[in-house]
Amino acid sequence: MTELTHPLATVPRDELVARAAADPLRPRFHFVSPAGWLNDPNGVSQWEGTYHLFYQYNPEGAFHHRILWGHATSTDLVTWKDQPVALSPGGPDSTDADGCWSGVLVNDAGTPTIVYSGRHGEHELPCVAIGSPDLLSWTKLPENPVIAAPPADVDITAYRDHCVWEEGGRWRQLVGSGIRGRGGTAFLYESTDLRTWEYLGPLCIGDSSRGARTDPDWTGTMWECVDLFRADGGAPGQLPDASGALGGAPSLLDGDSHVLVFSAWDDGVTHHPLYWTGRYSGDVFEPHALHRLDYGGRYFYAPQSFQDESGRRIMFGWLQEGREADTSVEAGWSGVMSLPRVVSPDSDGSLFFAPVPEIAALRREHVSVAPDVIAASASGPGAVTGVSGLQLDLELELELDPGAVVRLGVLETRDADGTAIEQTAVELSREDASDSNGAGSSHGTLRLDRTRSSLEGGVDTDSREGPVPMPGGRVSLRVIVDRSAVEIFANGKPLTARVYPRLGGGGISLDATEGTTRVVRFDAWTMGEIFGSERLLFP
C-alpha cells in the first residue's frame, strides 16, 4: 500500500485508477484524468499537426491540492494518449512550491513555451517553462517568477492565469485579477522575450456592484482564466481579412470585434464563465455586451481556447462535479474535460458553439425516429423505443408552435407503471407572444430539469436555463450524454451539467407538455469509448 500524504487522501494511490475505472458514472468518451483530480484545461494547442491538452491534475487523490500539469495528445480531437506529467511543483523555496496553476502554451519562434501561475503559500506569480521539440519534457526558467509581483498600488483580490499572444513583433500577456471594491480585471503586459515584462495597465475593469451575487451573469470580484480572441476566431494581434468581414453567417460582430472570456470568481467560489463582446484596440478592451458562455454556469468553468491549423477557434472547459466532495474522493476521480467546441460568431452578435464534427467518429448504432407531430393533449408517457443508452449523441430538428413546451428525457429509469423514477429532462419552450406581423415569437428558453435526475442524496439537482433564439419556432437540438456528463446545444447555445443517476437506466422519452411541436428529425447514436487499456496515474 502506498503512503497517504494528505488528510483527504483516503484512497491509496495504487487503488485510484481501478476505483475510478469501476465507477459507472465516469464518462467514457470525454477526456478524464487517469484517476485523481482534474480541473482547468491548460496549454490547449495544435503543434505540427498534433493536438495538446494539458490540464490541472492531482494524482494524489480526487481533491484540489498541489496541482501538476497533466498532459495528453491527440491527432483527431477524439481519442487521447496520456503523456508524462509536464510540470510538477518545485522545492520548498521555489515560486511554484505549492502548485503549477493554470496557463497557456505559445510558440516562441519554434520553441514550445508555457506561461503558468506558480503557487507559493496563498499567492500565484507568472512563471515560464521551455519545452523539448516533442513537448514531452519541460524546463522551468531559473529566473522564475518572470513578473515579481502584481502591479504596485492596486489593492487586488487575486492574481493568476494567463493569455499570451504575439502582436506587432512583441508579446502581450493578460493576467487575471480583481480590484478590491471595483470588480474583476485583466492586467496587460508587454515583452520582447517572454522573460521581462512591462506593465501597461488594466485592459478592462468589471463592476462587481452591478447585479446580485446570485445572478447568472454577475461578473465577480476576480476574473479567472481570461481568454482574448478575435470574434472571427483569430488571435488578438492578427489583422482581419482585407474585407473586414467574418466568414459564414452574417453577424452583428464585424471584422474588428473581439471576445474577452473570463470565469467569474469570488472569495473561493467559482461562479460561471462569461464573455464580453467588444473592441480591443491599443491597450484597452472596450466592452459592448456581456453574455453567458454556458447556461450550466459552474459546470463549464475555466474555459480556454486556441486556433487550430485549419483556422477554427476551439474551446475546452472543465465540467466540475455536482456531488459531495467525499463521494468523489471515495470514487477515486473528480472532474471531466468538455468535448472540444468550435466557437464562431452568431448572427445575433453573440457566439455560436458546437462540438467539433470529429466527435461523430465515436458514433456506433444509429436509430432514426420517424417524423411526428406531438401535442400536449395527446401525449402519453412518451417513451421512445429502440433508443437507449448511457452514452448517446442525439440530434433533433424541432418546430415549436408559439407557447409550446417540449421535453426530452434521458438517463431514465421507469417503474412498472411507466412512471419515470429517475430522469434528466431537457426542456425547450417557445414564448407565446406574436410580433407586429402576427408571426409567433422567435424567442424561447432552454432548460435542464435535474429535479428527478438522481435518487442519491447530496447531489446538486437545481435546474439550469437560458434564452435561445427560435426563428419560426425552429430549434436544432444536440444532446450528448456520457453517463454523468451532459452537454446540450440548442441553436448554438450550450448548457452543460453533471447528473448522477443511481439506477443506471438509459431510457429516452419525448413529450409535448404545452401546445404542439413538430419533430422534423430525430437521430440517435450510441457512442463508443476512448480509453481501452488500463491507464497509469503517472504515464
Q: How far is the CB of 464 from ligand DQQ (least distance, A)?
A: 19
Question: Do the Cβ atoms of 415 and 422 come closer than 8 Å?
Answer: no
**Least distance from C-beta 320 to ligand DQQ, angstroms?**
8
Question: DSSP assignment, residue 91?
Answer: -
What does the per-residue mask of binding to ligand DQQ show for 227-266, with x meaning CB under 6 A?
A: ----------------------------------------
Residue in the structure block whose three cell numbers are 521555489: 94
Three state DSSP letters for 380-431 = CCCECCCCCCCEEEEEEEEEECCCCEEEEEEEEEECCCCCEEEEEEEEEEEC
Return the residues of window 157-186 that contact ligand DQQ according to CB under 6 A.
160-161
Q: Nearest Cα to 84, choosing from 131, 125, 46? A: 131
| Residue of 44, 67, 104, 426 that binds ligand DQQ (CB under 6 A) | 67
100 touches ligand DQQ by CB under 6 A = no
Taking the complex as a whole, the smallest distance from the CB of residue 125 to ligand DQQ amounts, in Å, to 12
Please, which residue, 115 or 527, has the CB nearer to ligand DQQ? Answer: 115
Taking CB under 6 A as the criterion, the residue among 60, 96, 98, 224 binding ligand DQQ is 224
Give percent helix, percent strand, percent coil of the chain, each to the nearest 5. Answer: 5, 50, 45
Q: Cα(455)–Cα(499) distance, rounded to whole angstroms? A: 11
Residue found under cell 467518429? 361
Nearer to ligand DQQ, 101 or 187 (CB): 101
- Report, in Å, the least distance between residue 358 CB and ligand DQQ: 26
> Smaller CB distance to ligand DQQ: residue 106 or 426?
106
- ∠ CA 39-46-72, rounded to 5°: 40
CB of 270 to ligand DQQ, least distance (A): 6
The distance of closest approach from Cβ of residue 42 to ligand DQQ in the complex, given in angstroms and rounded to an integer, is 8
Nearest Cα neighbor of 176 from 155, 161, 154, 188 is 161
CA 248 to the chain's CA centroid: 24
Q: Which of 275, 303, 297 is nearest to 288 (CA)?
A: 275
From the CB of 446, what's the least distance to ligand DQQ, in Å?
25
Closer to ligand DQQ by CB, 117 or 251: give it: 117
- If the CB atoms of residues 302 and 329 are measured against ligand DQQ, the closer one turns out to be 302
Amino acid making up residue 536 = L
Cell 435526475 identifies what position? Answer: 453
Element (H, E) at 19: helix 13-22
Binders of ligand DQQ in range 460-519 (CB under 6 A)? none
Which residue's entry shows cell 480585471? 185
Minimum CB distance to ligand DQQ smaller for 301 or for 352:
301
The binder of ligand DQQ chosen from 101, 295, 352, 525 (CB under 6 A): 101
| Integer Cα distance of 332 and 236 in angstroms | 40
Closer to ligand DQQ by CB, 144 or 454: give it.
144
Contact call for residues 342 and 356 (beta carbons, < 8 A)? yes
> CB 266 → ligand DQQ: shortest distance, Å?
12
312 bridge partner residues: none
**Cis preceding linkage at 27, omega within 30:** no
Strands 36-47 and 50-58: antiparallel
| 269-308: contacts with ligand DQQ (CB under 6 A) | 270, 301-302
* Number of shown-chain residues binding ligand DQQ (CB under 6 A): 14
C-alpha 33/C-alpha 344 separation (Å) is: 28
Of 67 and 420, CB closest to ligand DQQ: 67
Establish if 56 lies at the interface with ligand DQQ (CB under 6 A): yes
DSSP string, 451-509: TTS-SSTTB----EEEEEE-GGGEEEEEEEEETTEEEEEETTEEEEEE---SS---EEE
Per CB under 6 A, 225 contacts ligand DQQ: yes
- Nearer Cβ to ligand DQQ, position 222 or 400? 222
Closest distance to ligand DQQ from the beta carbon of 161 (Å) = 5
Pattern 362-381, ligand DQQ, x by CB under 6 A: --------------------
Q: Which is nearer to ligand DQQ, 102 or 516 (CB)?
A: 102
Least spacing, CB of residue 268 vs ligand DQQ, in Å: 11
Q: What is the closest distance, in whole angstroms, from the C-beta atom of residue 197 to ligand DQQ in the complex?
A: 18
> Which CB, 39 or 73, lies closer to ligand DQQ?
39
Tell which phi-psi region holds residue 326, choosing left (phi > 0), alpha (psi between -120 and 50) or beta. Answer: alpha
Binders of ligand DQQ among 33-52, rule CB under 6 A?
Answer: 39-40
Find the shortest distance in angstroms from Cβ 298 to ligand DQQ: 10
Sort 395 into a burial class: Cβ within 10 Å, 0-12 / 13-18 / 19+.
middle
Nearer Cβ to ligand DQQ, position 56 or 454?
56
Sole binder of ligand DQQ in the list 45, 102, 144, 491 (CB under 6 A): 102
Smallest separation, CB 119 to ligand DQQ (Å): 8
**Hey, what's the cell of 192?**
520582447
Residue number, 225 or 486, with CB nearest to ligand DQQ: 225
| Residue numbers at the binding site for ligand DQQ (CB under 6 A) | 39-40, 56, 67, 101-102, 117, 160-161, 224-225, 270, 301-302
